[in-house]
A and B are shown apart, each in its own frame.
Chain A
Amino acid sequence: MRTENQKAWFFVLPVLALVAFNALVPMMTVVNYSVQETFGNNQFFWEGLGWFEQILRSDRFQAALGRQFLFTFLILLIEVPLGIIVALSMPRKGFWVPVCLVLMALPMLIPWNVVGSMWNIFTLPKIGLLGYFLNDVLGINYDMTQQPLSAWITVVIMDVWHWTSLVVLLCYAGLVSIPDAYYQAAKIDGASPWSVFRYIQLPKMKTVLTIAVLLRFMDSFNIYTEPFVLTGGGPGNSTTLLSIDLVKIALGQFDLGPAAAMSLIYFAITLLVSWVFYTLMTKDDAQ
């Protein structure tokens, strides 16, 4: 049991100072810009909530938001079940366990821009392994720089390649914590593989699965570098996700007001959905 002690605050102070400096100052800058209009020369005029209204009503933002939700939905839909399946079929002990774990974790340790470049090289028609195989061996017309559908499939598969291992590792951590006695009891009772999964493995994986879904939601919703390097948001705007659009407005066009308003809306959405997951997670912890 944890004891009540207000002096514990002193232990937290360094973290608080560091994160506050990094989070609060930039946040205030963003809030500041979001309610003002500038015509350059450091002259600012009060704009009120105008930018927020403009962003929320703009087709461009709505389209990017729609693409973002579709992307995140597809990612969760593919990566979570796939991760569970791979984790269930992994060996539990022996020589191959560390080998599997290291190989599976490898994609996550590659810098995000390299992931984008790697998939670019991998999928280029004529040059890339996948591009060559699809176009010249199977005869499928595939070019992610020209066709929106190909670009979408490539971006989704790239993310599946990059992050499914996170779900695998989390589920695996949950699975190895199940004592052997549980399985023996299930065997004696003649339980089917499905009921072993449903009543022993799934409940044990519940906490880690929530963490996995939370992390995968946050990271896929905030994704920027990989799709930007791979497709640059194209062809056209077809793979322009929220972060790509935001960086275009903020650093490309330097429209500070709209970019700031969009930042706050974006952050609010991420926060809201993550908060739902977080409450679910801590509710499990308390039980």
Chain B
Amino acid sequence: MKKRSLIPILYIAFLMLPIYWLVAMSFKTTNEILSGFSLFPQTFTLENYITIFTDPTWYWGYINSIAYVTINTVLSVCVALPAAYAFSRYRFLGDKQLFFWLLTNRMAPAAVFALPFFQLYSSIGLFDTYLAVALAHTLFNVPLAVWILEGFMRGIPKELDETAYVDGYSFPRFFVTIFLPNIKAGVGVAAFFCFMFSWVEMLLAKTLTAVEAKPIAAVMTRTASSAGYELGLLAAAGTLTIIPGAIVIWFVRNYIARGFAMGRV
């Protein structure tokens, strides 16, 4: 038994090393980073974090990112719910083809869409808004949400729907008061995945914004190139981007495994 648990421990250690290094770097002064190697911060400093929390370009980067991620998550889950219900309960003309077509959008390389998205959202006047990024991210998040929710809904027996109708429930009332509470976990997992993929995606978010809705990633790259590579500051900014993910993952910890399997276990 002892020997077996060695593998996960080693694996987690491997995962944590670069993260540790990022966090350690964020507490070092630029001087210390450039002057030589040190395993722990010698002169512990909060300077880098203070810069981020006092400079509007920095903290607005976080606010912008969280804004479009939230819009995207709400939008994706709301439109995916009825669609997933339709796929899990009914057969209709072209359902299989439609489902596959939705999935193909999850397969599309983001690089393919960068330029056309830029032109599309510029032409409808949404360039450099939260809505542009949120809408662009629905391209891969909506299919994902439909897929996950469909998997969870399939696990709910159809008798539940039928009994409710016999009891005189209307469809909207049944859906909100009976069906939704039954797939709470699925909704949570779908929302988590939408949050995750919108939060980590950077190519489209950067292409579709300039000043007003600039995500934290764009602030980071611009700082990296303009301010002569301040590694400590970059590390602090990176460390702060890990925190929202770490918080949301704690809430879905019991469902992540099933979620990654798209509810198909």
Contact = CB atoms under 8 A, between A and B. Distances in A.
Contacts of B104: 271, 274
Interface stretch (A36-44, A48-56, A138-146, A259-267): A259-267
A230 B109 CA distance: 19
B261 A105 contact: no
B265 A208 contact: yes
A172 B108 contact: no
Interface of A: 1-9, 11-12, 14-16, 18-19, 21-23, 25-27, 29-30, 85-86, 89-91, 98, 100-114, 117-119, 121-122, 126-130, 132, 136, 161, 164-166, 168-170, 172-174, 176-177, 207-208, 211, 218, 221-222, 224-225, 229, 242-244, 246-247, 250-251, 256, 259, 263, 266-267, 270-271, 274, 278, 285
A113 B110 contact: no
Contacts of A173: 257-258, 260-261, 265
Contacts, number: 275
B83 A14 contact: yes
Given A14-B82, A128-B21, A225 B203 contact: yes
Contacts of A128: 21
Contact of A89 (B4, B21, B34, B257): B4
A177 B155 CA distance: 14
Contacts of A243: 109-111
A106 B245 contact: yes
A203 B87 CA distance: 27
A19 to B, nearest CB: 6
B176 interface: no
25 contacts: A2-B89, A5-B90, A11-B85, A18-B135, A19-B105, A26-B117, A89-B4, A100-B8, A101-B256, A102-B256, A104-B15, A109-B199, A109-B249, A112-B202, A114-B217, A114-B241, A118-B21, A121-B25, A122-B21, A122-B22, A170-B261, A208-B261, A211-B262, A242-B111, A270-B108
B138 A18 contact: yes
B107 interface: yes
Contacts of B100: 278
